[in-house]
Amino acid sequence: MAKLDLDDDIYGQVVPLIYVLSDARGETANTVVMAAAAQFGDASVDIRRLSNVKDVDTVRAYFDENFDASRPCAVFHTFANGILRREIRRELDRRGIPSIDLLGPAVTVISTLTGEEPTREIGAVYKEEGAGK
């Protein structure tokens, strides 16, 4: 794996940490992160998942206990509820943690294309899978 040649390489030998947050199992976000990380070779990042997040207080408590300021990090998340998504984004911004919303933009585009409002149902993709069984 080729390293970027930066004079001010702030990362050195520290393995970056990716937090995956979700209101369901977190498998969608985890799969996207794993696919992206695979472009950089084995052990390019550590991935930690926080599933079944129902409120911003859960995220606050998690980062109060688990955040490691010595490691570069980012959050990838999938939240069906737009209000919860915004609250969590504000909390992450307040902490200076970059985050990527993997679900919201896709839902917005599909809503625009179909003219329909999303259900905002948590774990909807897994309920669809179980319907045919």
Domains and CATH numbers, the chain: 17-131 (3.40.50)
pLDDT digits (tens, 9 = 90+) for 109-122: 999 999 999 888 88
C-alpha dihedral, 95 to 65 to 46 to 24, nearest 10°: -90
Q: What does the pLDDT average to over 34-59?
A: 94
State pTM to two decimals: 0.81
Q: How confident is the model at residue 33 (pLDDT cuts 50, 70, 90)?
A: very high
How many Å apart are CA 121 and CA 103, to the nearest integer? 12
* pLDDT at residue 43 in the model: 85
Q: Is the pLDDT of residue 77 over 50?
A: yes
